[in-house]
C-alpha cells in the first residue's frame, strides 16, 4: 500500500500492513449490520383505544378496595361499603370475584400511611384469588391501582 520514495536502499521496513486490518474490520462491520435486526426485540403493547361518543363503555360489577393503616380493608362492590379485617379479605372477596363472569379487575387504593409490605400483601391476596386448586391461574384476577385526582388524599371516614 505504501510506497517509499527515495532514501537509502532496501533494508527491513517497520511499517504495519493495514490491509488485513481493514479487511477484518469491514467483515465485522457487515456481520454486526446483518445481525442487528435479529437482535431487536419487539414488544407488543395493548393500548386501549379511545371510545367514540356514540359508543358506550360496558362496566360490569366493579370491586374497589381501600387499604387502611389500622389493618382493615374497605370493600366496595357497588352495593355498599363494608370494612373487613385484612386476614379475612380472601374469604370476603372470593364469592364476589367468582360471581364476575367477564374480565376480573379489582381496583385498589391505599392510605398514604400504610406500610409497603402490607400494600403488596393485599395485592398478592387479590391476585391469588385467580388460582385454581392446582395453583394455576385459570381465570386471573387483575389488580389495578385506583387513580386519584392530583393532590387528592383518601378522605377520612
Task: Say what the pLDDT of residue 126 is.
Answer: 87
Which residues is 66 bridged to in the sheet? 74, 109
C-alpha cell at 119: 400494600
Task: Say what the pLDDT of residue 20 is.
Answer: 92
Q: Which helix (H) or strand (E) holds 97?
A: helix 89-98
Task: Say what the pLDDT of residue 58 is.
Answer: 55
CATH number of 63-145: 3.30.420.270
Burial (0-12, 13-18, 19+ Cβ within 10 Å), 64: middle
What global pTM score does this model have? 0.54
Q: Can you list the positions of beta strands (E) in the chain?
A: 63-67, 72-76, 81-85, 105-110, 142-145
Q: Running along the chain, 157 residues long, what does each successive block of 10 average in pLDDT?
A: 60 83 95 80 71 62 86 86 89 85 84 88 86 73 74 53
Write down the domain spans for the chain: 63-145
Amino acid at each position: 500500500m505504501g510506497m517509499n520514495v527515495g532514501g537509502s536502499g532496501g533494508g527491513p521496513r517497520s511499517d504495519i500492513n493495514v490491509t488485513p486490518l481493514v479487511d477484518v474490520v469491514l467483515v465485522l462491520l457487515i456481520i454486526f449490520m446483518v445481525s442487528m435486526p435479529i437482535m431487536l426485540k419487539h414488544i407488543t403493547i395493548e393500548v386501549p383505544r379511545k371510545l367514540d361518543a356514540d359508543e358506550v363503555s360496558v362496566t360490569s360489577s366493579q370491586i374497589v378496595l381501600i387499604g387502611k393503616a389500622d389493618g382493615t380493608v374497605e370493600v366496595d362492590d357497588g352495593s355498599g361499603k363494608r370494612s373487613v379485617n385484612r386476614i379475612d379479605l380472601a374469604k370476603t372477596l372470593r364469592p364476589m370475584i367468582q360471581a364476575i363472569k367477564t374480565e376480573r379487575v379489582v381496583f385498589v387504593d391505599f392510605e398514604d400511611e400504610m406500610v409497603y409490605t402490607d400494600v403488596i400483601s393485599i395485592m398478592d391476596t387479590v391476585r391469588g384469588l385467580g388460582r385454581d386448586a392446582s395453583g394455576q391461574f385459570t381465570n386471573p384476577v387483575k389488580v389495578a391501582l385506583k387513580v386519584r385526582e392530583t393532590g387528592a388524599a383518601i378522605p377520612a371516614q
